[in-house]
Amino acid sequence: MDFWRTVLVLVRRWYVVVPVFVLSIGVAFAVYQSVPPVYLSNAVIALTTPTTGGSLPYRKDQPNPEINPLLNSDRGLSLAASLLIAALNAPDLATQLGAPPGGAVVLDVNNGTTNVENLANGPFVYISAEAPSAELAQGIVAKVSRQARAELRKRELQVRAPIATYIVMTDVVPATVAEAQQGRKSRPALIALVVGAMAALTAGFAAESFAVARRARRESAEQGPVEDVRPVERVH
C-alpha cells in the first residue's frame, strides 16, 4: 500500500520530481567529470637462489652442486623479500622515488597480502602505484623495481655475503602499462545520483504536503465562520 501511495504521489507531483531528478543527473555528471582520473600499474619480482647455491664450499675440489633456482626456495628468500619490502615502504625512500606519503601518487609494496603477520610468506615482491597519469604510474613502478635491486645489494654488502651467493632478482611481471581505474570516478558520481534521487523524492512529498495543506485552508475559508446558533435570551 505504501509503495503504490508513494508512486501515486510521484506521478501527481511529477512537475517537481522530474526537474529535481534531472538536476541530480547533471550534478552527478559534473562530479564524474571533476574527479581526476587514477591510473594503476603493477610489477612482480621473484627472488631466487643462484645456480651455485647459497653457500660456498669449504673445499675447492668439492664445489657446491649446481641447482635449478626454481626448485630451491627456502625460508631465507622469504626473509630477504620481507626485508626488501620493509625498506621500500620507508617514507623517506618513497619520497625520494616520487611517491611521498599523502601525495598524489600512492605506492604499495607487499608480498601479495596486507597482513603484517604474513609478511614473510614467499620470495615475491609485489609493487603497485596509483597516479594521476598513466606515464607517472608506470614510471614509479619501474623506478621502484630498479631501487629494489639496489636495496638488496646494499643489504648483502652489509652482511658481507660472498658475491657468488648473491640473490637473483627476476622480473616475473615487468611494470605494466597503467590502466585507468574507472571505479574511482564512478563511485562519487553514483553517490551524488543517489542523493539527488532522495532529494527528488523528498521534494515530491514536500510539494504534496504543501498542496494538501493549501487545499485544506481553502476549503475552510470557503465554508466561512461557524455561526452561533444558541437561542437569544429575551430581556424583560
pLDDT in tens, 57-78: 666 666 666 666 655 566 778 8
Domains and CATH numbers, the chain: 6-34+186-210 (no CATH), 39-180 (3.30.70.1130)
Distance CA(175)–CA(197), nearest Å, equals: 42
- At residue 234, the pLDDT reads 56
CA atoms of 161 and 55, how far apart (whole Å): 9
Residue indicated by cell numbers 660456498: 56
33 vs 188: CA distance, rounded Å: 10
Spans of the chain below 70 pLDDT: 1, 56-74, 113-121, 224-236
Phi first, then psi: give them for residue 153, nearest 5 degrees: -65, -40
Q: What is the pLDDT of residue 146?
A: 93
**Separation between Cα atoms, residue 189 and residue 182, nearest integer Å:** 11
DSSP character at residue 101: T
User: For 154-176, how does the pLDDT look when each residue is reduced to its tens digit (9 = 90+)?
Assistant: 988 888 888 888 889 999 999 99
Backbone angles phi, psi at 166, to 5 degrees: -60, 140
Whether pTM exceeds 0.85? no
pLDDT at position 108: 92
Cβ-Cβ contacts under 8 Å for 59 (sequence gap 6 or more): none
Q: Which residue has the cell 653457500?
A: 55
Predicted confidence at residue 1, as pLDDT, reads 46
